[in-house]
Chains A and B, each alone.
Chain A
Amino acid sequence: MGRFVLQRLIRSIITLWVVVTVVFVVLNLSGNLAATMLGPDASPEAVAAFRAENGLDDPLPVRYARYLGQLAQGDFGDSLQNGRPAMEELTSRVGATLELGGAAVLIAILIGIPAGVLAALRRNSVWDRGTMLLAFVGQSAPNFFVGIMLILLLSLQLNWLPSSGRGDWQQLIMPAVTLATGLLAALARMSRSSMLEVMSSDFVRTARAKGLSERRVVVGHLLRNAGIPVVTIIGLSIGGLIGGAAITETVFAWPGVGRLMVEAISMRDYPVVLLIVMAVATTVILLNLIVDITYRLLDPRIHATGGTAR
């Protein structure tokens, strides 16, 4: 197990290094960095000063080494909009996004999994068909449209919930539901098909045959085994949620990382954009690592067949 974790860890670090390198290459090959950073109106003197200050006239390998050194020291540059360190800009927004994302994942799990499990247990019933139809539509609905329909219905028509901002819990409901839609639909479909697969397996038939109560079959055998792929889906979809957060936060004026990124891109604020990209990449890579390890701990079969286990 230790060796497996170590292998995965090394692989993750290499992946992160690739992302960081690609970011460096793209930024340095995409034309005149000084002009991009300073804007089109910069004077030639300012451009020359910027080049000298940032060592842009050095050869590429030297710049690359310096860039890695800066990253290692946690120096991600300053925001071009207000001169604050990019890291500070990011950390001031992380809380809002974690709150939104956490609420969305919670909603998706609490509604999606029971809906899918029930659909599987009552296969081909009205409930089953209705849920799956809704899930299918939910997966095809763009986040921003779901958000706008919610605003139209719950804020403007019924006047129940505020349409934007962050503060009290009412303001969290609509953005969280909007962000949850895709994952909720995916979870409902996934837990349904996963349940159906397990329901037809031999050990469930054996459990029934030896006279276990239906409740013990469902809880002890079905849910436990059907849970593995579902857990994986949750872990792997976090990356997609981060993309969805950019849109959801824009629709509801939610002051999180996603909206910061959209703003930074509109303003061509590269240090902030690049920092967010690296933060997102690190998060997703770490999550994949955790999913891999959890998966291995949960599923005894993977454990048994993996030659290097223990």
Chain B
Amino acid sequence: MTGTTLTSVAAGTRSPASPTANRARRRILMPPPIVAVFIVVLVVVVVSAALAPLVAPHDPTRNDLIARLQPPAWLEGGSTEHLLGTDQLGRDVLTRLIYGARVSLIIAVLGTLFGAVLGVTCGLAAGLVRGRLDELMMFLVDAWLALPFLVIALVLVALLGTSLPVLVLLAALSGWAGFTRISRGLGLQIREEQYVLAARAIGVSQVRLLIRHSLPNVIAPLIVLTTTELTGIILLEASLSYLGFGIQPPLAAWGLMVNEGREYLNTSWWLGVFPGALIMLVAISVSLVGDWLRDVLDPTTRT
């Protein structure tokens, strides 16, 4: 079996590991069709977000009160001018979705990146150095995980406001504990490996040991954790912005759009449903691609 079906991915079961590196390489080149579909979804979202000013049909913040609350093009009263309809201020929903993708993606990508760098540094250092540092680090992680992160995030937002840098900081903080835990375990594992002992024996410095010898070996599991964190941050950002603690109006963010659409649910359902469905679609895509990457990258996957 070379393909990973949606349900087997969904159920958390994995296809048997490929016996040879050659086959593994072929699987990297050819994702199963269902995963390919979601990769395409992600590419479309990323590209349209990156090229927002070029691909978006309208200005995301320009009001047009005459054309307010227009339904999507395929419904009665809709027009091809506004494919997904317009909101309470006559702004084009499709355009705002595209600009909202920018916010979500910037926060998710930068946040995951910073969180990974911070967590991997802490975790590998703890695992390789052991002793006091290790104890302290694990205690901090445990204490951190004692609080639901949404609560931490809300408090920080209350103290620091809701600018983009603060949101990126929050996203980074949401992931560091996870990265620290996993890379500590890997650090411990590596510490006992022959090649690390050998490197240490010939007098390689701790820093060099970390960068040149440990990191390349832990990169695969980290990539997989990264996709999990990405999904988590996308949902976190959406939740914060739904509560009104994310990017502020008139800028567009998906969660904020759902929030604004809540009021008009009775008459203009598309305002809340499209951005909500998009958040879900992107979250599902990232998880699925992550699960597939896990299968491909981990040669020791069990059934």
Bound complex: CA A50 to CA B152 (Å): 27
B198 on the interface (CB 8 Å rule)? no
Asked whether, in the complex, the Cβ of B11 is within 8 Å of the Cβ of A132, the reply is: yes
Bound complex: CA A270 to CA B159 (Å): 9
Residues of A within 8 A of B201 (CB): none
Asked whether, in the complex, the Cβ of B284 is within 8 Å of the Cβ of A136, the reply is: yes
Asked whether, in the complex, the Cβ of A280 is within 8 Å of the Cβ of B276, the reply is: no
Bound complex: CA A30 to CA B269 (Å): 41
Bound complex: CA A140 to CA B283 (Å): 6
Can you name the residue of chain A whose Cβ is closest to the Cβ of B156?
Answer: A26
Can you add 6 more A-B contacts, CB < 8 Å, to A15-B139, A189-B12, A247-B242? A136-B9, A145-B277, A244-B150, A250-B242, A261-B154, A280-B147
- Cβ-defined partner of B148 (8 Å) among A15, A152, A189, A240: A240
B262 on the interface (CB 8 Å rule)? yes
A89 on the interface (CB 8 Å rule)? no
B10 on the interface (CB 8 Å rule)? yes
Bound complex: CA A97 to CA B262 (Å): 22
Number of chain A residues whose Cβ lies closer than 8 Å to a Cβ of chain B = 56
Asked whether, in the complex, the Cβ of B148 is within 8 Å of the Cβ of A239, the reply is: yes
A284 to chain B, nearest CB (A): 5
Asked whether, in the complex, the Cβ of A128 is within 8 Å of the Cβ of B11, the reply is: yes
B-facing residues in A134-172 (Cβ within 8 Å): 135-137, 139-145, 148-149, 151-152, 156
Asked whether, in the complex, the Cβ of B157 is within 8 Å of the Cβ of A284, the reply is: no
Question: Do most interface residues of chain A lie in helix, strand or loop, or is the interface mixed?
Answer: helix
A37 to chain B, nearest CB (A): 12
Question: Do most interface residues of chain B lie in helix, strand or loop, or is the interface mixed?
Answer: helix
Asked whether, in the complex, the Cβ of B147 is within 8 Å of the Cβ of A281, the reply is: yes
Asked whether, in the complex, the Cβ of A140 is within 8 Å of the Cβ of B284, the reply is: yes
Number of chain B residues whose Cβ lies closer than 8 Å to a Cβ of chain A = 47
A9 on the interface (CB 8 Å rule)? no
- Cβ-defined partner of A148 (8 Å) among B159, B231, B235, B272: B272
Can you name the residue of chain B whose Cβ is closest to the Cβ of A269?
Answer: B158
A243 on the interface (CB 8 Å rule)? yes
A302 on the interface (CB 8 Å rule)? no
Q: In the complex where A133-B10, A246-B154, A247-B242 touch, is A285 in contact with B146 (Cβ < 8 A)?
A: yes
Asked whether, in the complex, the Cβ of A137 is within 8 Å of the Cβ of B284, the reply is: yes
Asked whether, in the complex, the Cβ of A156 is within 8 Å of the Cβ of B158, the reply is: no
A268 on the interface (CB 8 Å rule)? yes
Bound complex: CA A203 to CA B216 (Å): 41
Asked whether, in the complex, the Cβ of A15 is within 8 Å of the Cβ of B143, the reply is: yes
Chain A to chain B contacts (Cβ below 8 Å), 13 pairs: A15-B143, A30-B159, A140-B231, A142-B239, A148-B262, A152-B272, A189-B12, A193-B12, A239-B146, A246-B151, A262-B154, A268-B158, A274-B155
